[in-house]
A and B are shown apart, each in its own frame.
Chain A
Amino acid sequence: MAGIRVNNLTFTYPNQERPVLKDINIDIAPASWTAIIGHNGSGKSTLVRLIDGLLIPDKGTIEVNGINVDENSLGLIHQQIGFVFQNPENQFVGATVADDVAFGLENRRVPPAEMKKRIHHSLEMVGMLDYQDAEPVNLSGGQKQRVALAGVLSLMPQVIILDEATSMLDPLARQEILSLLTELRSKQNISIISITHDINEIELADETIILDEARVAKQGPTKEVLKDGALLDKIGVGLPAGQQLKQLLAQRGINVPDNYFSLEEIKQWLTQQLQ
């Protein structure tokens, strides 16, 4: 059974009374892009860490591509999932860019000759090949995140989890990472799960899950979920630009059909109408 299945998941951090996650049920299809959004402290990071087996649930089960996540399957699970964390600095293990990409491969016991090829290939994919021997001090946050992504890609995972991976980057670097991910997804069958507050990043996702007060508040196709303006306001994401434009147009008596969603699509629709 491919994909990710979360059943009745409950998790409480040690020394805390209230659970961070309560009876969570989620299905994530293979090769899909899922955005997880919610307040700070709504359990988003906890959820993805549980999926990767970095935390062990109190109750409930998680299945990744048919493998049950528990203490015995951690090695297998880490092979299925690549994880990019928020802070670019604190996930850079190697002394140089190439060393950092090599770290995961070394753990996987890839022979040195093949390692070289894979490092070359994955650095090429993220456009960091010229920086192979650069040290982390001399890299920007965006470059470090690209290296982290290369480290993940070199391990050829089925699923890539981004835990606010673009939140510490400037808008340009963020855009670069996102277009890189879009490109990757069109070429390979990778599922992406991204935790984010960035509306542009949410719009890229096929499915969106909103977590609120330890529960799933809403779950479904991104286009559907993003229509719920009140809920988006409540969790502090704000309406996407396309939706805002749609509302403003509606107030002026112009109704944009439902299937035009993003700013770009609405722009196209408007151009068509004006011609």
Chain B
Amino acid sequence: MNNKIVFGSYIPTNSVLHRLDPRMKLMMCIGFVVLVFFVNNLITGAWLALSLLLAIKLSKVSVKLYWQGLKPLFWIILITVVFQIFFSSGGTVYWRWGIMSVTHDGLINSLIILYRFVVIIVASTVLTVTTQTIQIADGLSWMMKPLALIKVPVNQITLMLSIALRFVPTIMDETGKIMKAQRARGMNFNQGNIITRVHHLVPILIPLFVNSFKRAEELATAMEARGYDPNAPRTHYRQLIWHQVDNWAAVWSSLVVVILFILRIFF
């Protein structure tokens, strides 16, 4: 069994945000990411950061956990920012060495990118920490509903998504077992250069693939036996219910948007 706590996974603290409708939270998260690109100065940036801080406070999950969420992405952020500092041009030049230079615009750009990275990652972490994956899937399927008009098989896609999510731990478990089985046959996964190591993945991947196909076939038979017909309409056990609190969330989110644009106009 795998007990690894992946960061960004659901933490049940039963806060207001946990009780919000997943559709509302999804829309808020997507809306927020879009808004980040409308930030054009310190004040608008501070305003969005403030509203994000409010969300973090409301989620009742400690700030430390959010910080841990950023850590694995630290190197990607750092490299991008450093790249921006040294390789973008424009404005006053402070330092130059070959093709590298530190300029005023470069510094500003790198700050903006740092800001966007951090804010977007934290915002999506707020979503995943307060919403179970199955609920996110439910929310997504609701959002995809209009696509049914252009003959996108929304119900099948939703079921596919939820089955895929359900089998992630199963397949991780199986990977562990296969690795142990190969180790028992004398395989050493921690030796050799990168090419040997990649080569060593083959005896893991092949059994994993073969087993997954077998699994899929068995699952398909079981689903058929339980009366699943991909083309027939189905009812849904999980019903999303829009509560009063979701209306309030909508009002607050609109306020954030309106104030952001007002700040943009006046400053």
Contact = CB atoms under 8 A, between A and B. Distances in A.
Contacts of A90: 215, 218-219, 222
A89 B170 contact: yes
A87 B218 contact: yes
A107 interface: yes
A136 B237 contact: no
Contacts of B173: 137
Interface in B232-253: 232-239
A25 interface: no
A104 B163 CA distance: 15
Interface string B150-166: 00000000000011011
Interface residues of A, number: 41
A261 interface: no
Interface in B33-65: none
A75 B226 CA distance: 9
A138 B173 CA distance: 12
Nearest to A133: B132
A115 B235 contact: yes
B162 A78 contact: no
Contacts of A109: 233-235
A110 B235 contact: yes
B174 to A, nearest CB: 9
Nearest to B165: A95
A103 interface: yes
Contacts of A85: 218, 221-222, 225
B259 interface: no
A78 B170 contact: no
A54 B227 contact: no
A106 B236 contact: yes
A136 B235 contact: no
A78 B225 contact: yes
Contacts of B229: 75, 107
Contacts of A136: 166, 169-170
Contact of A111 (B2, B133, B224, B235): B235
A92 interface: yes
B228 interface: yes
B233 A137 contact: no
Nearest to B224: A54
A269 B194 CA distance: 72
A30 to B, nearest CB: 20
Interface string B195-215: 000000000000000000001
A12 B58 CA distance: 63
A92 B166 contact: yes
Interface string B118-143: 00000000000000011000000000
A94 to B, nearest CB: 7
A131 to B, nearest CB: 15
Given A93-B163, A107-B232, A137 B225 contact: no
Nearest to A52: B225
A157 to B, nearest CB: 10
Given A54-B221, A137-B169, A99 B237 contact: yes
A106 B237 contact: yes
B265 interface: no
A151 interface: yes
Contacts of A96: 134
A105 B237 CA distance: 8
B5 interface: no
A83 B219 CA distance: 12
A89 B229 CA distance: 21
A112 B234 CA distance: 11
B114 to A, nearest CB: 36
B225 A83 contact: yes
B181 interface: no
A155 interface: yes
B236 A112 contact: yes
Contact of A137 (B1, B219, B236): B1
26 contacts: A54-B221, A54-B224, A78-B227, A81-B225, A85-B222, A87-B218, A89-B215, A90-B215, A93-B222, A95-B134, A95-B165, A99-B134, A99-B162, A103-B228, A104-B227, A106-B236, A107-B232, A110-B235, A111-B235, A112-B237, A112-B239, A119-B237, A136-B170, A137-B1, A138-B1, A151-B226
The list of the 5 closest CB pairs from A to B, nearest first, reads: A102-B237, A91-B222, A83-B225, A90-B218, A107-B227
Given A81-B225, A93-B226, A107-B232, 9 more contacts: A78-B224, A79-B227, A89-B170, A91-B218, A106-B234, A107-B227, A110-B235, A112-B239, A115-B237
Interface of B: 1-2, 133-134, 162-163, 165-166, 169-170, 173, 215, 218-219, 221-229, 232-239
